[in-house]
Structure 1
């Protein structure tokens, strides 16, 4: 045990318990001018001290070898019930924290490593709380005659609060209904825009949803926050909106052969960004949509951005949509197998694509990580499809005939027929499953 006093006697006493002397030394240097300090490295010694001496505030480490902070604060509470108890922990241990709060009556907890200013502010608030608690106890006797009047006031206040609460609940219900209507309208508008894009491009009803889900899961795999994942999902839903400004002949041109899109078609994101920018709510989406055809090496369009200059959402959408085009693009007359498309992405990582995005996307395709929060549609070839897999989209052949429908379970016989079709027509079949 060590104690430290200063010339100016601190108003409150503070007990510090931590099994690491270096931690105690750091705390002493930080707090010695504001408090009368007593420090311990062993919980039993600290408890023995408390039986003979009063302290106003106790701050204990959570993880210690012989007695953890929860146990110490619980036992210390029985000795000095009125003291302020604070937990100092470097672990995200929810059970231990709850135990300390419930059994030790912890005022608050501070994480290691701490911010000096934040720790001082927390202690200052604890000290103020302690002083107020003591003052309250001293004033209790003198306030006895005012309790009846205060009770009457509280009853009146409670009545007013109840009336106000009822009014707020009515207002909230109205706001909730308005929000639901607004969200429903927004979803309807989004679906209408998506349907317009699909009708204009002929990409099919499942294309936008597929690209958007894959982009969202990829963003989550890259550890982007929830807001950014939702924003990228929305951008992916609308990434082809600029095609409404292209002629029919232009729509027939897209190709990723050789690593480059047709320049006329490749500039449709500029049109899309201009369209989206007219809607204030969609304005934050413009950069991602505009730069979806940029190449990581600066050779892309429209502004020849490089590396991290390209918005992360644009880099994600570029990988997902190009992969989809290679294996299932409606205008792609030279579709390749899923494995070949993976090889293409690897080859072009660092040239056309962000390598970290490619690596994360390939990890998803190869491992199919399970997540309850996010839906996903996987692109698979006949080499990986298994009997019993259920399709999320219709399988439409190059001749326009629908061979399998969404929701249908794939059988071994059907896989055999599809292999024969690939061989006979020298093409690749891609299926989509969840």
Structure 2
């Protein structure tokens, strides 16, 4: 007899678009992903489905007659807050995206025409994030129930109390693991969003991943606590969010060659980045670092002209990493500065732009740890996909040709994942070289 309790319930998706061909294309693509699919041609039809069906995720077009996508997702957030919300937009509309973030508190957005692989990856990661939150709530409820049982047993059953205490400790450990996984899911989701931002920038100016690697290595070297490292990772992934509003000419102009008018726009981008994240409570620490990463030690920076130790420590570190990478990419001076000269420029402006103590430590790290910085100095192996084995752990993020994050550092390979990578190589007609931790490192 079949064990119904072990049956896996497929995720239930609602696709909303006023164009039948778009709904048909999405349904055809997602049919093989194992989802239970529902479709609606407008906002009212979507709400009717939500009234009678338990839906896990709504993917809605932004521009629809009558009720647009932002209004629909806002109403979904109010009535079904646990239902994930994604926006599908056919044009670069920053104001609509900001409204969707603030009013609908969306998980993310995707542009038309979409990339099938990226859309499927975003949906999978969104649903994994949702499952982690549900599991955390389930474990919290379980802990509360067990606490009540413990209170009832405490008066008469000392031995059972001891046994139950051990069970509670195990539950607490599970909660800690779930909490860590939830925090990691925030980082992963932020990296995915960061890779979407990168699509607005030329390939040479897609610096977020490099900056993230650098600040993480330095934070570990300094022994910063977990909360500080978490905020730094998120800030590094989104520090240039405010550049989304720039035109193409401003994006490709080095900072030292900006006109007076362009410089005004340039000086606003840290504050703009912070304002775009205000609605997300868990991003508050990272948003503060983004706002102040262009402040200078001598008070000549922006947007608030903070001076010395009034500048948040993480913002000082982020500013060093951003300048170090952007100097080498030709984003500050009208030429790409080689790595040694970039370090020399940091040293030259120590005490004026940069915290002198932090700058000295930063330069020492870059000199001593290179070229192993990108894997944090831990021994790694460079392998082709065909050489991967189940159980190996990824030592560096993998991005697609277009810059989309495919897998994040720390992901453990299994046979299914290896097979998917090999099929992706065939589709993209390229071969990935992957960094994985050596076996003795993975076993620690």
For the criterion TM > 0.5, the same-fold answer is no
Provide TM-score, normalisation by structure 1.
0.45
